[in-house]
Amino acid sequence: MTGKIEDSFKDLLASLQTAKLYGPDHPITRKSVEKAYLSLQEALTDKGELVIGIIGEELAFEKEIFFDLSKFLRQTILYLKDRGIERIAFNRALELDELNKFIEFLTLPKEAIKDDPAEFLKLTGVRNIAIGKVKAVPGASAKEQIPDLLNFYQAALSNIAHPLTKIMNKEAVDEVSLKLAIGNIVNNLGSYFEQLFKLATLKRYDTGTFTHLLNVSILSMYFSSKLGFTKDAVMDIGLSALFHDIGKLHISRKTIRKPGQLSAQEFSQMESHTVLGAKLLMQYVDSIGITPVVVCFEHHLKYDLSGYPRVPFKNKQHIASAIVSICDVYDALAQRRSYKTDYPPDMIHNLMMRGSGSTFDPGLLAVFFKAIGVWPLGSIVSLSDKRVGVVVGENEDNMFLPLVKIISPQNSQEIINLKQVKDTLKIERYLSPWSEGKEFLHLI
């Protein structure tokens, strides 16, 4: 079924490109539209309606995002978005004449459409094609509102697993595919970071091999973008975050997950992952650049250089290493593992602030918590009046008092700015998604 959908997308946008080149009435265009019509009819065989969505700069259908197709059709996607079209719905009763009129409509200059585009299209006699913006469903959960981004997160996990495994096995890595995977995350940061960050928060209970790496990459890119880094630098830091723990893949899982204190030999083995990883990545400098090597080597070095590996020189950490170090520890503390519980966000803040000036760059750490808040997006919390809410926004001038949306009782949906009611209402405790908060996950 997915193949039919992708073919219909491809043929439809190809007909638009042809119309822009030859004009809507040219025989070549008409033939191209006929092909698109047949593809759409094939895709609509088992469906009453087919909806194309544009998420960021990606084409999407339900929970499927077509990254490769989007890459090749990027200019056409941007062309549609420039006209306010992020959603196109085709009804099964669609006729060929309507599709011809629709393609002609899309080739009109923007200034020629004086009314609302959706209404203008109806005036041309098109009844079985609807256009508009991608909108959230009122009353729906966040998971239902952004299914495409949930799929995006899962697809990103899949995309990064392949090159990481290749490097671990010392095989050739596809540089283009790897940078495309990171680029897709970067391109979605601007418009959809809050949703991605919430997904990263909630996905911490997924113990998949590469979940931590992706979360650290997302955190690192968001943090570096807040610091004002260029898009290319943000991408470089995100790539480095993905590879920062590559050396651990060569260390026994038994050692990594040991609940008790490590022996001297085990601790030495654990510390060696920074050097092992850097040596491994040195073989791929032509593909991924030098920054991932530096970050892999330095991310446990600490701000005061008291960490590991021990170095004979006293140069401070590269700023990319300092950023990834903060994000690595933050997500590691939030993760639940077989050998440790997850810590509530306020405890994580307190623990990390103890390392300000020693483990972490104090200036960077302060900016980090100012950007994400003490209670990050997606945190499930119990309030002092016994209602349950989810954090949906931050107050940068008071990171302890976020915006909370009430999710229990379910009929409330009230959004409370805790800064404005700090004398009467406060967060009483964090509800972990593994325990007390689990029953509320479907409401987020």
Q: What are residue 66's phi and psi, to 5 degrees?
A: -95, 85
Query: Across residues 308-321, what is the average pLDDT?
Result: 88
Nearest to 42 by CA among 68, 87, 71, 10: 10
pLDDT of residue 404: 94
The first and second tokens of residue 296, run together, are 């892999």
Mean confidence (pLDDT) of the chain: 80
Q: Which tokens in the block code for residue 297?
A: 């080597």
The pTM assigned to this predicted structure is 0.62
Q: Counting runs of H as helices and runs of E as strands, what totals does the chain give?
A: 19, 10
pLDDT in tens, 86-134: 888 898 889 999 999 999 999 988 777 766 788 888 888 888 998 887 6
pLDDT in tens, 341-394: 678 899 999 999 999 999 999 999 999 998 888 998 888 999 999 999 999 888
Q: What are the tens digits of pLDDT across the range 249-291?
A: 666 555 455 556 666 666 566 668 898 889 988 988 887 889 9
**Interacting residues of 181 by C-beta distance below 8 A, sequence separation 6+:** 156, 159, 160, 163
Predicted local confidence at residue 138, as pLDDT? 37
**Which pLDDT belongs to residue 248?**
77
Tokens 């209970």 belong to residue: 205
Are 186 and 234 spatial neighbours (Cβ–Cβ below 8 Å)? yes
**87 CA to centre of own chain:** 21
pLDDT at 99: 94
Residue 143 has pLDDT above 50, yes or no: no
User: 27 or 174: which carries more pLDDT confidence?
Assistant: 27
- Please give the average per-residue pLDDT across 58-79, as a whole number: 74
Which segments within 342-441 are labelled E, that is strand?
380-383, 388-393, 403-408, 415-417, 427-430
Cα–Cα distances in angstroms (integers) from residue 14 to residues 19, 36, 54, 184, in the given order: 9, 8, 16, 23
Query: Residue 179 pLDDT > 90, yes or no?
Result: no
pLDDT at 149 over 60: no
Cis upstream peptide for 109 (omega within 30°)? no
d(Cα 131, Cα 116) in Å, to the nearest integer?
10
Kindly indicate the confidence band of residue 206, based on its pLDDT and cuts at 50, 70 and 90. Answer: very low
